[in-house]
Structure 1
Amino acid sequence: MKKRMKKSLSVLLASFMVLSAVACGSKGDGAAEAVGKGSDGNPVDITFPLKETATLSFITNASANSTQNPNDRVIFQRLEEKTNVHIDWTCFVEDQFSDKKNLALAQAKSLPDGLFNAGMSDYDLLRYAKQNVIIPVEELIDNNMPNLKAILNENPEYRSMITATDGHVYAFPWIEQLGSDKEAIQTIGDMPFINKTWLDELGLKVPTTTAELEEVLIAFKEKDPAGNGNTIPMSFIINGGNEDVSFLMGAFGKGFGDVPDHIAVTNDKKVLYTATQDGYKDAINWLHELQTKGVIDPEVFTQDWSTFVAKGKAGRYGLFFSWDSANIAANVDDYIPLPALAGPTGTVSVPRQSSSATSGFDRGRSVLTSNCKNPALAAAWIDQMYEPLQSIQNNWGTYGEKDKFNIFEMTDSGMLQHMDLGSESPVEVRQAQNVAGPLAILNSYYGTYVTSPADAQYRLDWIKDIYTKDMIEKYVYPNVFMSQEDTDTVTQYTTDLDKYVNQKKAEWILNGGVNEEWDAYLEKLEGYGISKYLQLKQTYLDKYLAE
C-alpha cells in the first residue's frame, strides 16, 4: 500500500505522535485503506486527553423531539472534556436521515470524517466501499482501538459478523446483549398487550385461543369500557415492525407466522418465506374477519407512531402491539402480555425474529470516509465508545444532568444504577439523553458496570416465563454478511418482494380476497425471484451452520 504523510490536525499532535495517519493509500482495486501506523511502521500513539484540541467532523441523527445539536448533550460534553476532541456535527432529523445521508455521501469533496449513527445496510457498506466513499477499518481496530479489539477477541463471532467476504471490515458495530438464544430480548418485537383491567371489569378471562380473543374483542366493542364510544378493541400499525400484528399469526398453519423480513428456518434447517405459507393465508383471513366485525382500529392502515401513541395514552386500547407497553399505555398496570394463542387447529407458536439469537447487533453503525484527515485519531476517539461505562451511557442515557430526568445515578462503587422511570416513557427519556452510535454492552457488564434496566428485565422475564415455551422453531436466520454481488441480488429481490407482500397484506386485511388472489399472488412472487432469493439465503445459512 502506497503511504503518504498527512498533515496533523495540530502542531502539538505532530510533535508527540510523529503523526502519519495513513488515511488514503491505494491498492490495486483503488480502495482506500487506513492502517493507523506511523512512518516507522508502529501504531500511532494517541493518548487522551490531547494536549491541544483537535477537531473531527461527523454526521449523525436525532429524534425530532430531542435536541438537534449533539454538543448540547451532556454525554458529548463530558466526552470532549475527557478527550479534548471537538466534534463538528451535522445532525439530521431521524425520520429524514436516510435521504439526507445519501445526499451528503454523494458530495465527495465535502465528506466529513465519518458517520456516527451511520444507518448503513450491508448493501450500503459494500457499495460505498467500492466507490471509495468509506474506508476499511480492520487495521485501525487492531492498531488504535484497544477497547473494541478486546471485545472482538473475547467474542470472535462478532469479528466474523463484521468482516465482509473480501476480508475487510467497513464499519464499527453496535452490540447490545440482553439475554441470548430464545431468551434474547430481541427475539420478539411486536409483543401483544391486553387490557387486564377491562377484562376484570367485564368478567372476562385472558384469552388462550384465537376464538376466545375474538369474543373478548367483540365484548370490548359492545361494552365500551373506555366510555363515550372511545374504546378501540385492537390497534396496531400495519407492517410497522414492533407495532405490527404479526405475533398473532403464529397461531395458524404450522406456526411460522410472520416476522418483518418474512424469513423463518425450519427445524430441519430449511429457509422458508413466511408470507407464502398456508398458515399465513389463514391468518390473513382471520384478521379480515376481525376487520369486518369492527374490532380493528380503522386507522391501523394509515396511522403513524405519534397517532398510535396518542390514542394509547388516552386509555383507548383493549389490545395493542409494541416493544414495551410503557411506550403506549397511559397506565402500564392496566396491561399484561397476551400469551401465545392456540389457533383453529391447536397450533401454538411464537415466531422468532431473524438474527435475534446473537443479541442486538448492527453491523453498519459507524463508518469513516475516504476524506478523513486523521483516521488514527478518529478511530481512537470512536474506540472510547467501547469503554464499558461509555457504551452504557451512549446506549441508554446518563447521570447527574441538572434539571432533567436522568436514566442513571452513579453509585459509590462506580456502577451505573438505573433510575425508576415511574410514569415516564422509556423511549422518550432515553432519546433526550442517549447518543447511540457504535458501542458494545455485554451480558457480563450487568451487576458489574450497570444494573439491568427495569424495562428490559421485565421484558426478559416475560419472554422467559410466558413465551419461550411456545417457541417451536430451533433456529432463526443468522446475521450473515453476504458478498457485494449477493447483497445486490438480495436487495433487488427484497425491494420488490417486501413492497408487494406488505401491500397485499394490508389490502387483504382491509378488503378480503386472499383466497381468490392467492395463486396469482404466489405466481407474482415467483416472478419477483422468490425461489432464487431463498436459494441464496439457504446457501449462506448452510455455510453459517457448517462453521
Structure 2
Amino acid sequence: MENSMKRSVRRALAVMLIAVTAAGSLAGCGKGSTKTEQKVLTDVSFPLEETATLSFITSASPTSTQDPNERTIFKRLQEKTNVEIDWTCFVSDQFADKKNLALSKKDSLPDGLFNAGMSTYDLLRYAKQGVIIPVEELIDQYMPNLKKVLDENPDYRKMITAADGHIYSFPWLEQLGSGKEAIQAIADIPWINKTWLDELGLEVPTTTDELVEVLKAFRDSSPEGRNDVIPMSFMINKGGEDPGFLLGAFGYGDPGDHVVVTSDKEVVYANVQEGYKEGIEWFHTLQQENLIDPEAFTQDWAAYVAKGKSGRYGMFFTWDSGNIVSNQDDYIALPALAGPDGTVNAPRQSGSATSGVDIGRCVLTSACENLELAAKWIDLMYEPIQSVQNNWGTYGEEGKFNIFELKEDGTLAHMDLGTESPVEVREAQAVGGPLAILDSYYGTVTTCPDDAQWRLDILHETYVKDMKEEYVYPVAFMSQEDAELVTQYETEIRKYAEQKKAEWILNGGVDEEWDAYLEKMEGLGLSKFLEIKQKYLDAYFAE
C-alpha cells in the first residue's frame, strides 16, 4: 500500500510538472523578479548542497519590518536549510486586496502564500480556478511533522478536508485549553477600572443597573482628579473591541460572527433575537447619558490605544488589557452581568471549542515546480520548537527584547513581558504562518506564556461558570456551492445588522424599526443562511 501511495504521488507530481512546463516560463512574485527555471529536487534533505529558492507572499504589521529575511527566525531557517525565500510582503491592513490582485495574475504566481488568510470559500474558489493545488499527498509523503499532528488529532484532519476529499492548505493550530476553558472562548472581555472603583467607594457591578450607576460615577466624580474621563469606550463591530459581551445580560449576547448554537443544537442569529433588541435599547440609554465614548463608532486602533495609554478609560473591551492601557494593574475583568430579568450569560465565540484553528493559513500555487522542496520546507514549521517560535517570537537577539530564553535542555522559556505590550513585542519577532502548538508542548517544549496563563485563569475563575450555552458553532468545511451561498448571504446580512447596531446605539429607534429590520434581514437571505449552517452543524454532531 505504501509503494502504491508513493507511485500515486509521483504520478500526480509528474502530471503537475508537465502542465507547468507546457505553460512556459512563469514570472515570479517578489521584488519584481522573474521566476527562472530551477532544477526540480527529489530526495530532499536539509541543508541542501546547493542553494535553492522558493517564492512566497506574506504579510507583516506596519509597525514591524517589511522584509521577512531580516527576521532572526527566517535567517536561522535559511542557514538550516540553504533555501532562500523570495518574499513579497504586504502590510497587514492592505493584505487582502494586495493578495487578491497578486493571485489574479496567473502568469506571475509565487510558489505559495505563507500567511494566506484564506477562508474555506477562498480555498475552494482558488482551487477551482487552478490557482492553488491540493496538498494531502504531499502531507502524507513529505511532511512527517504535520502528518503526526493530524494522525494524533483526527478532528484537525477532518476540519481541513474539503467535501471533495482534498486538503488545499496547511493550517495554523494553537491549543490553549479546550471547550469552555479554551483561551479563545471569549474575545471581547470587558475591563473595568478597579482603582477608580476603590477610590469612589464602589463595588464591582453585578447587574446592568449597577453598571450604569458606576459609569455615571466615573463621569461625574473626576477620579484621580481627571477631567477627561471616558466612562466606557469600544470599537463598534470590531471583534474583540466590540461591546457585544454585555448583551449576554439580555439573552444570547452578540459574539463576533453573530452566530449562536442553542442548548438544543439549533443555529440562531443573535442580532434578530428579542433579547438583543432589549440590549440595544439599554446601550442607547448609555449613549443618551453620555456614558459612551462619542468616538466609539468611528475610531481606529491607534486612537483607541492612545486614549487607553493616557489612562482615560473607566471601562473598555479587548482581548488583553495590556494591549490598550499602560496601567494594566488598575483594571480587572468585569464578570458577566445580570440583566433586568436576572439573565446572566457569558457569550462564547464560534469555533473556540477546539482552541485556535485557521484552516487557510498557507497554500501552494500551481506555479510551484519544486513541490517536494516546498512541502519539506513548510513541514519544518511544524517541528514543535519551530512552531513555538513562529507563533510567539524567538531568543538570542542582541540589544532587543526577546520573547524566549533558550534553556540548557533545549526548551524555550517565556521571558517576563514586563510593561511591554504583548502584541507589539510578538509582532517584532514572530512570523506566523503554518504551525501547530499542542497542549502537550507546555512543560516539554516551552512554557505557557504568562499572559496566556493569566487569561486562562481569568476565564476559569470569572467566566466559565456563566457560559450558559453548551455548544458553539464548530469549524466546518462546506462544499463550494454552500460556501459560496453562505458567503453571499452572510456578507449582506452582517453588513446590514452591524450598520443598524451602530445606528441604534447612537441614535435610537430599534423598537420602532424592529419589524422592518427583521423583514429586511429575511429578504437578505437569513433563513437560507441559517439552513445551510444548520446542515453542517447536524453533520458535525452526527459523526
Contact between 1:44 and 1:144, CA under 8 Å: does it hold in 2? Answer: no
Structure 1 residue 247 displacement after superposition? 0.6
**Alpha-carbon separation, structure 1, partners of 2:148 and 2:65:** 33
Secondary structure of the 1:68 match is coil
Task: List per-residue Cα deviations over 1:427-468 (Å, max 9, x = no partner).
Answer: 000000000000000000000000000000010001011100
For residue 477 of structure 2, what is the aligned residue in structure 1? Answer: 481
For residue 152 of structure 1, what is the aligned residue in structure 2? Answer: 150
Contact between 1:395 and 1:436, CA under 8 Å: does it hold in 2? Answer: yes
Counterpart residue type for residue 171 of structure 1: S
Secondary structure of the 1:234 match is coil
Match among 48, 51, 55 for residue 49 of structure 2 = 51
Match among 211, 218, 228 for residue 216 of structure 2 = 218
Structure 1 residue 20 displacement after superposition? 10
Contact between 1:396 and 1:434, CA under 8 Å: does it hold in 2? Answer: yes
Secondary structure of the 2:87 match is strand
Task: List per-residue Cα deviations over 1:108-150 (Å, max 9, x = no partner).
Answer: 0100000000000111100000000000000000011010001
Match among 78, 81, 85 for residue 80 of structure 1 = 78
Do the aligned partners of residues 23 and 440 (structure 1) sit closer, same or farther apart at CA in structure 2, a change above 3 Å counting?
farther
For residue 273 of structure 2, what is the aligned residue in structure 1? Answer: 277
For residue 316 of structure 2, what is the aligned residue in structure 1? Answer: 320
**Alpha-carbon separation, structure 1, partners of 2:159 and 2:99:** 24
Structure 1 residue 45 displacement after superposition? 2.0
For residue 61 of structure 2, what is the aligned residue in structure 1? Answer: 63
1:69-468 to 2 correspondence within 5 Å?
69-225=67-223, 227-252=225-250, 255-468=251-464
**Alpha-carbon separation, structure 2, partners of 1:352 and 1:259:** 7
Task: List per-residue Cα deviations over 1:8-34 (Å, max 9, x = no partner).
Answer: xxxxxxxxxx9995372699xxxxxxx
Structure 1 residue 214 displacement after superposition? 0.4
For the pair 1:24 / 2:13, whether they are aligned, the reply is no
Contact between 1:60 and 1:116, CA under 8 Å: does it hold in 2? Answer: yes
**Alpha-carbon separation, structure 2, partners of 1:201 and 1:240:** 31
Counterpart residue type for residue 417 of structure 2: L
**Alpha-carbon separation, structure 1, partners of 2:295 and 2:384:** 43
Structure 1 residue 375 displacement after superposition? 1.1
**Alpha-carbon separation, structure 1, partners of 2:509 and 2:342:** 25
Greater shift in the superposed pair: 43-52 or 146-155: 43-52
**Alpha-carbon separation, structure 2, partners of 1:25 and 1:218:** 69
For residue 517 of structure 2, what is the aligned residue in structure 1? Answer: 521
Secondary structure of the 2:57 match is strand
Counterpart residue type for residue 365 of structure 2: T
Structure 1 residue 227 displacement after superposition? 3.7
Task: List per-residue Cα deviations over 1:254-289 (Å, max 9, x = no partner).
Answer: x21111111111111111110010110011000000
Counterpart residue type for residue 209 of structure 2: A
Contact between 2:17 and 2:369, CA under 8 Å: does it hold in 1? Answer: no
- Give the TM-score taking structure 1 as reference length: 0.92
Structure 1 residue 209 displacement after superposition? 0.4
Q: CA RMSD in A?
A: 1.4
Secondary structure of the 1:367 match is strand
**Alpha-carbon separation, structure 2, partners of 1:244 and 1:323:** 10
Secondary structure of the 1:187 match is coil
Contact between 1:57 and 1:87, CA under 8 Å: does it hold in 2? Answer: yes
**Alpha-carbon separation, structure 2, partners of 1:175 and 1:385:** 12
Match among 464, 480, 496 for residue 492 of structure 2 = 496
Secondary structure of the 1:251 match is helix
Is there any run of 5+ residues in structure 2 with no aligned partner, and where? 1-9, 20-40
Task: List per-residue Cα deviations over 1:392-439 (Å, max 9, x = no partner).
Answer: 000000000111100000111111000000000000000000000000
**Alpha-carbon separation, structure 1, partners of 2:536 and 2:12:** 40
**Alpha-carbon separation, structure 2, partners of 1:99 and 1:229:** 42
Do the aligned partners of residues 370 and 334 (structure 1) sit closer, same or farther apart at CA in structure 2, a change above 3 Å counting?
same
- Give the TM-score taking structure 2 as reference length: 0.93
Do the aligned partners of residues 23 and 198 (structure 1) sit closer, same or farther apart at CA in structure 2, a change above 3 Å counting?
farther
**Alpha-carbon separation, structure 1, partners of 2:50 and 2:17:** 27
